[in-house]
Structure 1
């Protein structure tokens, strides 16, 4: 097929639009039909579809399209409607500027084809469409929240999302209610019973191995745990959930945005109790709560001798990614071990190859390396300056986005000044036109709102940039502190050693080489140093049978 244009198609639905509107398949079919009719070739690799909110500007496939645009691999972008590529008015301007700079045309199927994104009038009309798309999206959210409140007021539990483990939501709208899932309900009852009998949450996880977990039915592609593999935090959450005693609380939490635009979940102000079928009696539930409280105070913890662990809370296992912490064996010796591995009865079940290493062997070797680095402040400076340059390179993409926002801000400020001068000129006339003034004032208000949105978008980008790039002040402080403590390194107490490692934010990874040696990787910015640690001469069978206490 001889065509002069290579294009990409982008389909999107948000989580609110799964039950209404046009589906991903329908969008894609209509866009490909449009491309065929208009002589635009769309390779299979350039056909994108994803389920994500239009208010989110960082999206997997959307970012791929921006990469194709920047590399000038396409000459046309086809979307079903203008709200498919974004609902953010500020980002709409940025994205269309990227299209213009790369000579890519924008085609909106629902508007009849190619739209004008180059002329002043075309850009103006696109901005108005962005504002409408933003408004309409907010109205969809508002309607969803009003429906949720109406259902909650009618004592309908679990208006959205999945019902908790042991229950299933059946019926629609005002007829919706919870029913128990028999096999899951029995699992919940066993969990409460086992905990009452004195089992720890880790032991309950092991007893439930192979039983479907709450996460198994969600099918999250990013989930790391295998089906039937329980998490102690899941067990703890279930033990404290009032739903199992027959009281579900709606509005227990709300999602809010902080100053950087990051979403977080907070406790709701007015949780509403709704009666649901109980899986455990009030007596059992309250006895478990008392036991949880007693254990949190230390009443259920084994008494172990106190020991100092230099690397605890800063280490992980290179084999499986689990945390590595210090623990006392029944022999009284201290070890670093992989916590994920010790959630299983035997090493072979865990899928992790790491075996414990002695703390009294590891900590002195690690401290020698730290001491050698900090004894030479010039070496500290060299490591940080090299890392600074590398991280600046990684942060250039963020800097480019900031420059785009700055340019857009300057453009809108110039337009705002022009409208303001026009308003002043109209007032200066002997017979000012009030309709003209009102129209100009509306434009000024819209531009002011856009400028505020741009500043909000700058905040998280600046925060990311601070995380990416090592500041010069940080380098000077690190070098100065190294020079200050250099003479105290040889006689440093455990508290000072730990303070130094925390201050420099050093991280550690453990890896087993063979039965007798392990490697500890000390990581500090771009610098990594491997430290070989010799393990005691013990066989795998000896270690499998070793009685190691639970983490304190």
Structure 2
């Protein structure tokens, strides 16, 4: 007695209808085929996935219970899959499970038979070609709708409701764009959560991807795009656009894109702007040694939105502060001005430069790999001697040379290598060239500048040219 299962597939549950691809139509045709072939249907399995997807819940259940059946019926080859690779993989999986595969349209499928394999190959290629035609028709229809000035659906992204600007959220979109000019997405995310701003899900929980999608989306400057890269949110060369209600102006939107690209290019530490915080990564608290970070107040109604400052310890690093009491905020413009003035003074008094250089220390040298290589050569030399390839004198000479090299490496590793001492004349030239750049961030990088700020506001400089 044959025990038969039916496998049905539609691409989208919203498209389940009474036409040639509806579940009811497929099942009726499969049962009629089973009656003609004398097969007894015991269970029906369904999936609502695309024809190129190989991972399927209903198909997985069928495989898990494959021992209970001898045959399986699908409506047609294109209901099994619409891609050659997926079609062959799924058919071979069913046959490997001991099931004889039938289709209500084409009949029995058998890859072992030449005619059957050819028929299946032609059918699956035709199904793939039809899928491509469907995709092209749908894509062209969507593009035409956008060309006619209509988004594919009413805008529902953050800041919009049913295609119109939702001011309760739009004010925070504008705030995010203003913040993105001076800080990164991580800082914006933290501030939104601290202020309790509801996300699109309705709760005050944000992540960096949500913030970045808002900052990259051209909808907010009044341009709806069809044809964007899903990962970068950038428009493809053949993207189609149409106007939509805007929340931010073009100048702000493009400035934010440049700021994001600038931070991602590695020109500054992620989450910072070195044009506003020129000492990023080079300014530290004199009390605890933690990095001082550039911050600015948050909130769309903040009157001091242009006030930027340095403070000891990012909130994410508070656990490393170890009881630091340094809580004062230092305006960035004042700190930059004081450092710039001190550098200009040092340029006029080069004799003090040498006293500011960090005392060089010995650097440990990693010789493990070199020693390992020498040990391997010693083993090879010994094996060559034991096999009679090298004479005893040749082996002794090679061994002595390698052991001497090994001893020098171990001595070097133990003593370390002293850092080169910076030449005062070279430092003066470097300082002069750095000041000519007119960019404090680049000047600090060239000099290896280290800035320490004491709780009383006293600023001291040091140079680490290494």
* TM-score normalised by structure 2 residue count: 0.49
Please tell me whether Structure 1 or Structure 2 has the larger radius of gyration of its CA atoms: 2
